[in-house]
Amino acid sequence: AVNPSVPAKTFPEFIQYLKNNPGKIRYGTSGIGSVFHLIGEVLQESAGVSMIHVPYKGIVPAVQDVVKGQTEMCFTSANGAGPLAKAGKLRVLAVLEKKRYGAMPGIPAANETVPGFVRPSGRFGYFGPAGLPMPIANRLQQEIHKALDAPDVRSRLETVGLAIIGNTPEEFSEMYRVGFEQIGKIVKKAGLKPQ
């Protein structure tokens, strides 16, 4: 999402603007090494652009500064950006998932413009103790998925911009393994250090 003063009206225009103005756009995040920071690093690398990272102590002050025009851009949830966009205080240019978000069908997925863009993993999940027998893990997954799939729960989660995946324990483990590898590469390439 960007401040409405940013001249780009669409995500393709924004990428071109970044290419024409390297290092001009400041993007706020919830801190160094946060998923929003990593998203910025991935976008810069995959689109061949340069932006200035501005870390905050949480995403709310980062979004507030974009609204005030102190910074030009931020990565945030659909829930966080949607009402501000409707009020004309932010302009949502793209969603970061692999496909368009149902609640904002007119907003393209970032990978439609930047084919190499793959959002770093930032998922929620349930974990059990090491050595949990697979029959118990599978039963827990089925019951948790059933609870999350209840119409009132699903509706509430979708309202705040969360999608239910409900994958198997094996798929979940693989998703996290791939995510840790991807994040490790991003952190190394960006030269990020613990603070």
Average pLDDT, the chain: 90
**What's the pLDDT at 195?**
65
pLDDT for 179 equals 80
**Range of 34-38, 103-107, 175-179 with top mean pLDDT:** 34-38
Q: What is the 3-state secondary structure (H, E, C) of the chain?
A: CECCCCCCCCHHHHHHHHHHCCCCCEEEECCCCCHHHHHHHHHHHHHCCCCEEEECCCHHHHHHHHHHCCCCEECCCHHHHHHHHHCCCCECCCECCCCCCCCCCCCCEHHHCCCCCCCCCCCCCCCCCCCCCHHHHHHHHHHHHHHHCCHHHHHHHHHCCCCCCCCCHHHHHHHHHHHHHHHHHHHHHHCCCCC
Cβ atoms 187, 35 nearer than 8 A? no
Distance CA 154, CA 149 (A): 5
The token duo for 188 is 């190394």
- Statement: residue 88 has pLDDT above 80: yes
Does the pLDDT at position 123 exceed 80? no
Q: Which amino acid is at 6?
A: V
Residue 173: predicted pLDDT: 86
pLDDT top residue among 63 and 81: 63
Expressed in angstroms, the distance from the first to the final Cα of the chain is 27
Cβ pair 22, 49 in contact under 8 A: yes
Q: How many CB atoms lie within 10 A of CB 62?
A: 26
pLDDT in tens, 28-52: 999 998 889 999 999 999 999 999 9
Distance CA 82, CA 78 (A): 5
What mean pLDDT do residues 158-172 have? 80
- The answer on pLDDT for 12 being more than 90 is yes
